Amino acid sequence: MAGKLAGKVAIVTASTDGIGFAIARRLAQDGAKVMVSSRKQNNVDNAVKALKQENLNVEGLVCHVAKKEDRSKLFNETVKKFGGIDVLVSNAASSTYFGPTLNTPEDSYDKMFDLNVKSSFMLCKEVVPEMEKRGSGSMILVSSIAAYTPMSMIGIYSLTKTALLGLNKVLAPELAAHNIRINCIAPGIIKTKFSNALTQNEDALNVALSTIPLGRLGTPEECSGAASFLASDDSAYMTGETIVVSGGMTGRL
């Protein structure tokens, strides 16, 4: 397929719905071969079917990103199906507690750090040998606007997203030595299942909208162009950076 990502192979985690699905679709529309993944076989099957119906070059696999054996399988199967790995989008995350930060249970804290931060780090670390074989690579971490201005009722989730900005900065120089780039995307409030709790409550929605200069929520598709840009050689001189996709929200929460 022609396009700015022609010849590239991409993995997108948690890509059967929401922002991950939109990114997987956009990378494939721009010419990449894409491995779609998430935790449930049924969701993987549905996403792959939908994308194949659009004549996109995708395959799918179950991957719970906190499980080492699942991550290994994801890399091995991608190499087997597509011949290598050029792009990794680490998108999986969860927010397991809503309320005052000081009340966050320890197991929730651990779960969010394990999934949102540690799994991202392990994916980045473990994919390096495959990218080295290709001679270059691009990694993209999905952070959040909450990384900059923590949202009060999801304080520890926000903290994990700030940690990803740090991970981005700390890995960029080391990965550069392998000719691999790493960058972040920080979405604002995007209409997905993830943001349902906020967007289905009219009062909360109105408060949120009042902080967004563009006056509306974003869509998953509006995050996907930034991912495609960071995956492509158009961003060849960028590493350790973050693209904010928030309708102008930065610093306004």
Ligand X SMILES: NC(=O)c1ccc[n+]([C@@H]2O[C@H](COP(=O)([O-])OP(=O)(O)OC[C@H]3O[C@@H](n4cnc5c(N)ncnc54)[C@H](O)[C@@H]3O)[C@@H](O)[C@H]2O)c1
| Contact present, 31 and 24 (Cβ < 8 Å) | no
13 binds ligand X (CB under 6 A): yes
| Contact present, 147 and 243 (Cβ < 8 Å) | no
CB nearer to ligand X: pick between 1 and 205: 205
20 binds ligand X (CB under 6 A): yes
- The interface with ligand X within residues 148-207 (CB under 6 A) comprises 187, 189-190, 192-195
What is the rounded distance in angstroms from the CA atom of residue 200 to the CA atom of residue 158? 20
Told to judge if 237 belongs to the known catalytic residues of this protein, a careful annotator would answer: no
| Distances from the Cα of 67 to the Cα of 55, 70, 83, 125, angstroms | 31, 5, 23, 14
| Distances from the Cα of 205 to the Cα of 143, 148, 201, angstroms | 21, 20, 6
CB nearer to ligand X: pick between 133 and 216: 216
Task: Determine the residue with CB nearest ligand X.
Answer: 18
- The interface with ligand X within residues 23-42 (CB under 6 A) comprises 38-39
Provide the token pair at 154.
Answer: 């999801």
What is the rounded distance in angstroms from the CA atom of residue 87 to the CA atom of residue 8? 7
Provide the token pair at 145.
Answer: 């606007």
- The interface with ligand X within residues 54-113 (CB under 6 A) comprises 64-66, 91-94
The stretch among 18-26, 71-79, 167-175, 207-215 that binds ligand X (CB under 6 A) is 18-26
Q: Shortest gap between Cβ of 7 and ligand X (angstroms)?
A: 27
List interacting residues with ligand X (CB under 6 A): 13-14, 17-20, 38-39, 64-66, 91-94, 115, 142, 144, 187, 189-190, 192-195
List active site positions: 157
